[in-house]
Chains A and B, each alone.
Chain A
Amino acid sequence: MHEVIWHGRGGQGVVLAAQILAESAYMQGFKGVTSAPTFGPERRGAPLTASTKISETPIRTFAQIEYADIAVVLDPSLLKVINILGSLRPGGLIIVNTPLKAEDTGIDSGRPIAVVDGAGIAFRHHLIKEGAPMVNTPLLGAFARAANLVSLEFIEKGLKWKLSSTVLANNLSALRDAYEATRGSGLEN
């Protein structure tokens, strides 16, 4: 089973990203998928997490993730606020929304890191809500590139399943842009 934690803030589309990944993985052929928000109340701007579990076989655990295989960080300011690495297994992949290069992020965990300028890409593709960039779709693109788990093709299908036609085109172009722009350990730049 592959366990993915999404770290973001209320209003960033964290829960939606976790759902779209689960749907995409199911369409790709994984028999077991779950997605869940942090249980409890949510507040705009407050740190929150969501999870996606992906498995070849139906999933029989609904417990919260103890050590994720992959952590996706939608808001890099959370790296200073939350012990994100503390809930990531040794060797687990961390994917960060940042304009910085991986080696300049200050994340020194010995784990593989992938970076993408999700906010920049969101602005370029007009994915803006109440003045803030919606970085969940760009980070799904980075996930497709860096995690080697759910392909870009099926994440595109996941977006088509979840998003309305009015916003779909911009999200698809942002997804592909982020896929190409993702840099990091083990990726051919």
Chain B
Amino acid sequence: MSRTEILTGNQAAAEGAKLCHIQVVSAYPITPQTSLTEYLSQAIESGEIKAEYVRVESEHSALSVCIAASSVGARAFTSTSSHGLLYMHEQLHWAAGSRLPIVMCCVNRGVGAPWSIFNDQQDSISQRDTGWIQIYCRDNQEIIDTLIQAYRIAEIVKIPVMVCYDGFVLSHTMMPVEIPDAETVDAFLPPYHAHTILSPEDPRNINPVTFPWRRADQDGVMCDGYMELRYKLQSALEAAGETIAAVGRDFAERFGRDHGGLLWRYRTEDADVILTGMGSIATEATMAVDALREQGIAAGVVGLRVYRPFPKAAVREAFRDAHAILVMEKDISYGYEGALCSDLKAAFYGTEISAPIHNVVAGLGGRDVKARELAEVTREILDRIAAGQPEGPTTWLNCRTDTPTE
């Protein structure tokens, strides 16, 4: 039987990892991820779950351990935040390039300098191009459910999955979470079988130096060159969207909760203006939309769950009838604009979608994001559009922008 408990996001993630029969955990504590690793180390120490917790001196080593564990056929888990994720950067590429179905939680936190322990999504967004699938969660229920889906997805498409959720805002906020029963999870998530088993009986050299050209191996078998291997990873990521959506549908049938696959919508049926974002800011936007509708503005929300692979077809469909689009995000691609905003605009290129798109950068370094503020900025932008004013610069929500720039 499933049961409902009042859990923090980190507790929800730990419960999800336990239900997935993870076999190896290697993680290094960092705020706000710390309590997640503590729950798992307790569960392993007490014998509640049968797994190995490998203690390491850094995040780089934590992911290296997961890569080794996954390579010999173990279901591996890690989690980190902010600088910890950045320290893993090299191994992120290595895990994806090796096509290993590792799952990690990124408990989103801002990046220094200057130091911040608080939430934004600069950490995971800055790892966008490492070849990992990235899924963003809107609340704690979605965290546990996404973690369970993540292993199924990762092991089908042979690509690691990063389950991202907002530090403190979700990781440290308690809310009701339905914990699925173990039997249903077992039926949904079959045991992991590695694509290549490393074993002393069958020694292999994996990930050797690969040449620019294709060439025959020692047995005369023609092998891919580096570029073919990159193409295969890219193709697999492009095709992974279908798998993510299908796994989401299967999950909904078995567990009764549909988080929307690639994206979710709120009151978009007749919406003129669509607010969009990833994670808890999109949840907050649903409250803003309720307020806007009370004021007679037909607003809706499209919440992006999956950022990589970018759901190009799904967003083209979801935003097709919008007359205005506000992209709200907790990151910035320095020197340009929010990363999600750029990606959305690129997805719309060559389509009939010509609605004005306005970028709102919000909540950096944990600055609180209130529904009231999201509704206010939406009204301002709509007024500007109605007055025929050209596209303005990115809005920095609730931020002083009139001080000297040095």
Contacts and interface: CB of A to CB of B under 8 A. Distances in A.
Interface in A31-87: 31-37, 39-41, 58-64, 66
A36 B9 CA distance: 11
Interface string B268-296: 00000000000010011011000000000
Interface residues of B, number: 25
B371 A62 contact: no
B309 interface: no
A32 B371 CA distance: 17
B17 to A, nearest CB: 22
Nearest to B169: A62
A23 B8 CA distance: 12
Interface residues of A, number: 22
A37 B284 contact: no
Q: What secondary structure prevails in chain A residues at the interface with B?
A: loop
Interface in A136-183: none
Interface in A1-38: 19, 22-23, 26, 31-37
B366 A26 contact: no
Contact of B176 (A26, A36, A60): A26
Contacts of B286: 60
Given A19-B174, A34-B174, A39-B168, A62 B283 contact: yes
A66 to B, nearest CB: 7
A35 B169 contact: no
Given A19-B6, A22-B6, A39-B168, A61 B174 contact: no
B319 interface: no
B368 A37 contact: no
Contact of A37 (B172, B176, B287): B172
Given A23-B6, A63-B369, A64-B368, A35 B287 contact: no
B371 A61 contact: yes
A84 B176 CA distance: 28
Nearest to B138: A60
B170 interface: yes
B370 interface: yes
A33 B175 contact: yes
A39 B283 contact: no
Residue of A23, A26, A63, A66 with most partner-chain B CB within 10 A: A63
Interface string B119-137: 1000000000000000000
Nearest to A1: B287
B117 interface: yes
A33 B176 CA distance: 7
B368 A63 contact: yes
B169 to A, nearest CB: 5
A63 B280 CA distance: 9
A178 to B, nearest CB: 23
Contacts of A58: 176
**4 closest A-B pairs by CB:** A39-B168, A36-B173, A63-B370, A35-B174
Interface of A: 19, 22-23, 26, 31-37, 39-41, 58-64, 66
Given A19-B6, A37-B172, A60-B283, 14 more contacts: A26-B6, A31-B176, A33-B174, A39-B118, A39-B366, A40-B118, A40-B168, A60-B287, A62-B169, A62-B170, A62-B283, A63-B370, A63-B371, A64-B368
26 contacts: A19-B6, A22-B174, A23-B6, A32-B175, A33-B6, A34-B173, A35-B173, A35-B174, A36-B174, A39-B118, A39-B119, A39-B168, A40-B118, A41-B117, A60-B284, A60-B286, A60-B287, A61-B284, A61-B370, A62-B139, A62-B166, A62-B173, A62-B280, A62-B283, A63-B369, A63-B371
